[in-house]
């Protein structure tokens, strides 16, 4: 019986290890520079370990990554230093073609827009999400996390679920770079991270490790 149990456990362990899916991850802490970032417009600098945008014009943003990135999760810390609108870019096909979820200080909400060619401010509004258990304000750090799956764009701020919006217009972008963004606002950004199956970088397990514990409990019950 002990030999049988040992054999079963060994086989299950090998199956579990083989079944783990891994996602790549890239991150930027801006401790020294932002040389791999590409500013589209605006005045950008690295100061005190943050990526800073001086207050300027409309739809100022900087991009990172590959135009082929499809479904992924993008995270960033965002602080609006002076002004009302700043956020996170994703699925950028070019400097003018991208999505942005941005924080709106006066109305305590987050807005989702799809920018398009023609001008920096050429865009279509996809929707908005009222602030859920958060208060959008100047001078505070907000942890934004956006999970992209097909047309779905789910948003969390400070680990609070803000909801989900979809671009069902037929004019959406299925893949693209990530980035940071502001509109007539001085803003600071930090700890940007992009993770997903299409991302090349450090590997992290997709499945939770407690899956092994759960399976082991079932094995013990069976014997």
Together in a domain, 167 and 93 = yes
Together in a domain, 51 and 133 = yes
Together in a domain, 84 and 190 = yes
* Three-state DSSP class for residue 2: helix
Q: Domain range holding 30?
A: 22-205
Q: Dihedral of CA 29/30/31/32: which sign?
A: positive
Q: Tell how far CA 43 is from the center of its chain.
A: 23
Together in a domain, 68 and 132 = yes
Residue 99 CB neighbours (<10 A): 26
Together in a domain, 64 and 117 = yes
- Integer distance in angstroms from the first to the last C-alpha of the chain? 9
Nearest CA to 189 out of 90, 59, 62 is that of: 62
Together in a domain, 171 and 146 = yes
Residue keyed to tokens 């899956």: 211
Together in a domain, 7 and 44 = no
Q: Tell how far CA 61 is from the center of its chain.
A: 15
Together in a domain, 102 and 55 = yes
Q: How far apart are CA 147 and CA 150, in angstroms?
A: 10
For the chain, the domain total comes to 2
Together in a domain, 39 and 54 = yes
Together in a domain, 14 and 101 = no
Together in a domain, 156 and 145 = yes
Together in a domain, 45 and 87 = yes
CATH (domain of 176): 2.60.120.560
Q: Please report, in tens digits, the pLDDT of each residue of the chain (223 residues total).
A: 444 334 433 444 333 333 344 679 999 999 999 999 999 999 999 999 999 999 999 999 999 999 999 999 999 999 999 999 999 999 999 999 999 999 999 999 999 999 999 999 999 999 999 999 999 999 999 999 999 999 999 999 999 999 999 999 999 999 999 999 999 999 999 999 999 998 988 654 544 444 334 333 443 344 4
Q: How far apart are CA 184 and CA 33, in angstroms?
A: 24
Strand locations in the chain, DSSP E? 22-28, 38-39, 44-47, 50-53, 60-64, 73-82, 85-92, 98-104, 109-115, 123-130, 141-149, 152-157, 160-166, 177-182, 186-196, 202-205
């Amino acid at each position: 019986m002990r030999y049988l149990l040992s054999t079963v456990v060994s086989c299950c362990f090998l199956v579990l290890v083989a079944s783990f899916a891994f996602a790549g991850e890239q991150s930027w802490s801006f401790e020294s520079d932002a040389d791999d970032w590409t500013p589209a417009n605006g005045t950008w600098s690295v100061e005190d370990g943050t990526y800073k945008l001086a207050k300027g014009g409309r739809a100022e943003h900087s991009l990172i990554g590959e135009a082929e990135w499809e479904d992924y999760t993008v995270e960033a810390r965002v602080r609006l230093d002076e002004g009302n609108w700043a956020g996170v870019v994703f699925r950028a096909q070019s400097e003018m073609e991208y999505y942005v979820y941005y924080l709106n200080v006066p109305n305590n909400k987050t807005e989702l827009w799809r920018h398009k060619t023609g001008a920096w401010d050429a865009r279509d509004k996809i929707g908005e999400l009222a602030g859920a258990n958060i208060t959008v304000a100047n001078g505070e750090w907000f942890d934004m996390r956006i999970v992209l799956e097909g047309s779905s764009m789910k948003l969390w701020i400070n680990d609070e679920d803000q909801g989900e919006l979809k671009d069902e217009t037929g004019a959406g972008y299925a893949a693209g770079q990530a980035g940071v963004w502001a509109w007539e606002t001085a803003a600071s950004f930090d700890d940007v991270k992009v993770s997903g199956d299409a991302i090349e970088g450090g590997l992290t397990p997709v499945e939770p490790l407690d899956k092994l514990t759960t399976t082991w409990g079932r094995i013990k019950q069976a014997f």
